[in-house]
Structure 1
């Protein structure tokens, strides 16, 4: 399970083989360490004991820290769990050969197909109820599919040769995608268009907070697969920039976060705001929905697995692909 801590003044400690959560010096939760996968903390007023940290490390529990908007700013995991030199050597060398191109195109291919499938999923419920909207969505889908086909024709010697072309395709498809999302949510919520950092509207705030939670799930999977999160292919290098996280997350934004956010809006669920941020109760409820979605089983490569398991398996496939031991195909969700 994932433990989500958002209350100011919470304390995490250890008692025997259990993690304890205290509020106002009273124990409010006890969880066996062997039942935990991840701890997410999104309040600066939370404290942890060193014996709790040590026990989390021993059990491979990832501790993640988010700010009020959901942006990750730190993680705790033992470096001794992920000391795989061979994988990282190959990861670095792949930047200058066809492996880097293959991965960059695969990540974007997964993103574009998942954007299409999210629109198809929500459009099918409008076919009878709102034929005009259904046809508008499919008109957009037609153009998205046309632009997405260009991805196959992009070729080069290394990722630096073709990054601009890939991102051009991604951008054109993405512009139409968000226009179609705006149509799907029209009249239910104000959506000024996709905004990242600093967004103060409820829709973008939900997206950004959800991506923050997913970001930590993606980072954990990559680290446990022995990969360097700062060495990506599609996203350019910059000190402190988790380029491989931003690459790999593209496959999973739509099936994990976008689908949940659009469903919340369409169901008319209240989205509470505290100034320019989601309020505490909304964040807690939304995080629970994201974790539930990560536990949802999808069919992929001949078997059904939870999305969080697919994320971890895909991270391992990146590593085996880089070492020349397997092929890499992007995850595409069903609709």
Structure 2
């Protein structure tokens, strides 16, 4: 079943009753609305005047819902995830912690290979030559010692929006960096949610290592999925509307990222489901059952 992504951009009170998320509005300006909690995958709390009960938070976490909190500028700034990801979580934590350096380097190699390949597919879709990226994706070695990721990124960002502007990818940069930031924040929440559901610690990365980052592994595993966000942002930019202000209509489009189709060798599924497949395969790699992460192809 496809899980829903809910964004609350107006003042509201969130509670739960009979396994339903109950949404009430100030002064009863609208009738209460209910959503089955089991149908929800991500909740984005954007407005500063949202009140959510502790019982509601507990019910959401029990159903493995990622709760994203936004700051006063309406950008995602926090993430609440369940602590318990499965009955064998302690065992999986141990496998993850004890993973060898060679294994981590091989997993990073696969991650970067698929990221560069998917970037190449985005460029080819919009008519930009990407033979160099396809060649680099096949050349990545264990641990990416030659930094093909950096080479690919330089070419990719110079060209993807080249028909519309000179673009530099930077979190604090000019639009459409604002769209990319928002889309990546939603993607990060989806990946972190799936890692927890697979019994893994999103803090312990295979490549990213930052003592101030609680989601290093999520940042690792989301890399091959970033081009799916980029493709959505390209579609917005190509329409030549005003995307300098990240308004509700643009956010609504970016919140559809968890529902976009991703393709594996044997199936096509929504991204939210596909990420779960990826994190489950990662858990098997840590356990020694497999040595391949199952990433989608764009």
TM-score (norm 1): 0.79
Distance 1:146 1:58, change over 3 A: closer
Superposed, which structure 2 residues align to 1:65-214 within 5 Å? Answer: 65-67=69-71, 68=73, 70-77=75-82, 79-82=83-86, 84-94=89-99, 96-123=100-127, 137-138=128-129, 141-151=130-140, 154-155=141-142, 162=143, 165=145, 168-186=147-165, 191-196=166-171, 198-199=172-173, 201-214=174-187
How far did residue 240 of structure 1 move?
Answer: 3.4
In the other structure, the counterpart of 1:132 is none
Query: Per the alignment, do residues 93 and 35 of structure 1 end up closer, same or farther by CA in structure 2, a change over 3 Å counting?
Result: same
User: Are the aligned partners of 1:320 and 1:326 in contact in 2 as well (CA < 8 Å)?
Assistant: yes
Selected match of 2:230 from 258, 262, 268: 258
Rg larger in structure: 1
Structure 1 residue ranges without an equivalent (≥5): 124-136, 156-161
Query: 1: distance between equivalents of 2:74 and 2:207?
Result: 25
Contact 2:7 2:45 in 1 (8 A): yes
* Aligned equivalent of 1:22: 24
Conservation of the 8 A alpha-carbon contact between 1:219 and 1:245: yes
Alignment length, in residue pairs?
Answer: 291
In terms of fraction of residues, the more helix-rich structure is 1
Task: Tell me whether 1:310 sits opposite 2:283 in the alignment.
Answer: no
Equivalent-residue separation in structure 2 for 1:234 and 1:81 (angstroms) = 22
Equivalent residue for 1:319, pick from 279, 283, 290: 283
Q: CA RMSD in A?
A: 2.2
How much does 1:330 deviate?
4.7
- Partners of 2:163 and 2:96 lie apart in 1 by 40
In structure 2, what is the equivalent of residue 133 of structure 1? none
Q: Matched residue of 1:252: which SS?
A: helix
Gap runs ≥5 in structure 2: none
Question: Of residues 45, 48, 54 in structure 1, which corresponds to 2:52?
Answer: 48
CA deviations 1:186-212 (Å, max 9, x no partner) are: 4xxxx541111x33x320000111111
CA distance in 2, matches of 1:108, 1:295: 23
The alpha carbon displacement at 1:28 in A equals 4.8
Task: Name the SS of the counterpart of 2:34 in structure 1.
Answer: strand
How far 1:251 moved relative to its partner?
1.1
C-alpha displacement at 1:72, in angstroms?
A: 3.5
In structure 2, relative to structure 1, the CA distance for the partners of 1:248 and 1:72 (3 Å cut) is farther
Give yes or no for contact 2:157–2:167 (8 Å, CA) kept in 1.
Answer: no
Q: Matched residues in 1 for 2:289 and 2:183: separation?
A: 33
